[in-house]
Amino acid sequence: MAERDRQIKVIDQDKNIRLFLARTTNLVEEARQRHNTSATAAAALGRVMTAAVMMASDLKGLEDSLTIRVKGNGPAGTIIATADTCGGVRGFITNPTADLPETAFGKLAVGELVGTQGFLEVVKDLGLKQPFSGHIELVSGEIAEDLAHYFLVSEQVPALVSLGVLVAPNLNVQAAGGLIVQAMPGARDEILKIIEDNILRSGTISSLMDSYDSLEEIVPMIMEGVDYEIIENNYLQFQCKCNRDKLLGVLRGLSSEERRDMQQDEEIEVVCNFCQQRYHYKPDELEDQKN
C-alpha cells in the first residue's frame, strides 16, 4: 500500500536545479468525496490542488498561503486551491458534477472541462499589505502546461511541470501526484536534458504514483545520471481553515438587507465552499455584537 501523501524536494549537485515530487492521492480523494465530483472534475481539481500544495512549500512564513485560481471557458467553471506552508490544501470547483467523455487517447478531458481560453492566477499572501500575484492566459487548460507557462512568464523560471490524477472505474482516486523541475539561474542545459529525458522515459506521473509505494523509489529514476540530495520532506493533507466563528464573521459582515433575508429562517445553514462543512446559526447570532 502506498505511503501517506508526502512531498520531497531535491536539489542537484550544482544547486540550481530543483525537483519537487509529491504524492497527493489521499487529499485528492478527500476533495473528490467532499465535493462529490465527476471523474474529470476530480482530475481537474486534483491537479490544481497538487500544484498549489507543492508551490506553497516554497513560502517562508508560517502564516503565508498560496492560491491558484483557474478560470477557463469550459464547463468546470472556476477552480481554486489554497495551500499553506505546512502541507495543508483545500479546493473548490464551481461545477463539480460537470463531466465530458474521455479524449480519443482514453484520457480524462481535463483541458476541455477547464477550457482552453481563460486565465490562471497565482496569489501569494505573504502577510504584506499587497499580496504577490501573477496572471497568465491559459495555454491548454490541462493545468501543468499552464503552470509551466506561469513559471516562465511571471517568475522567469523555466520549469517542467507534470500533474496527474488517476481515477478508478468506481470513481475513487487511485493515484495522484505532481512533479516540478525548476531551472534556477546557472542551471546547465545538459543536466536539464538528462532529467527531462528521464521523466519522458518514466511514464506519466499518475502511473508512477500508482506503481511505486514510496517517493524514494521514484526520485532515482528521475535523477538518474545526476548527483543530487534530498533537502526537504513533508506530509501533505486536505485541510480547510474554516470554522464556525469565521463564517459567522462573514455573515455579520453582510449588508443588513442580506442578513434580514437570512433571518427569516429559524435556522441559518451555511456551507463552506472549500470543504462542504455545514454550519448552523440562530437568527439573532447574525446581529452585530457591539453592545
Residue 81: CB minimum distance to Zn ion, A: 13
CA distance 289 to 291: 6
For Zn ion, what does the binding mask look like between residues 185 and 224, x meaning CB under 5 A?
----------------------------------------
| Part in contact with Zn ion (CB under 5 A); list of ranges 151-159, 199-207, 269-277, 279-287 | 269-277
Q: Give the dihedral sign, CA 251/256/259/263.
A: positive
Nearer to Zn ion, 191 or 272 (CB): 272
- Give the footprint of Zn ion on residues 229-268 (CB under 5 A): 240, 242
Among 144, 173, 275, 286, binds Zn ion (CB under 5 A): 275
The DSSP H or E segment spanning 119 is strand 118-125
Q: For residues 239 and 245, give the distance between their C-alpha atoms in angstroms, rounded to a whole number.
A: 17
Backbone angles phi, psi at 152, to 5 degrees: -70, -45
Please identify, among the stretches 15-23, 36-44, 138-146, 273-281, the one whose residues bind Zn ion according to the rule CB under 5 A.
273-281
Indicate the residue type of 16.
N
The β-bridge partners of 279 are: 270
Residue 119 contacts residue 71 (beta carbons within 8 Å): yes
Q: Which is nearer to Zn ion, 191 or 275 (CB)?
A: 275
- CB-wise, 18 or 90, nearer to Zn ion? 90
- Number of chain positions touching Zn ion (CB under 5 A): 6
Smallest distance, Zn ion to C-beta of residue 173, A: 20
Which of 27, 148, 272, 286 is close enough to bind Zn ion by CB under 5 A?
Answer: 272
270 binds Zn ion (CB under 5 A): no
49 binds Zn ion (CB under 5 A): no
| Element (DSSP H or E) covering residue 109 | none
Smallest gap from residue 274 Cβ to Zn ion (A) = 4
Instruction: Return d(Cα 23, Cα 148) in angstroms, integer.
Output: 19
Half-sphere exposure of 155 (CA within 13 A, CB side): 19
Q: With DSSP H G I counted as helix, E B as strand and the rest as coil, what are the percentages for the chain, rounded to 5?
A: 35, 30, 35
Task: Report the residue number, 215 or 275, with the smaller CB distance to Zn ion.
Answer: 275
Neighbours of 179 (CB within 10 A): 24
Nearer to Zn ion, 262 or 270 (CB): 270
Does 274 help bind Zn ion (rule: CB under 5 A)?
yes
* Nearest-approach distance from CB 90 to Zn ion, in angstroms: 6
- Dihedral sign of CA atoms 109, 114, 120, 126 in order: negative
- Give least dist CB 79 to Zn ion, A: 16
Q: Phi and psi at residue 163, in whole multiples of 5°?
A: -135, 140
| Nearer of residues 52 and 275 to Zn ion, judged by Cβ | 275
What does the binding site for Zn ion look like in residue numbers (CB under 5 A)? 240, 242, 272, 274-275, 277
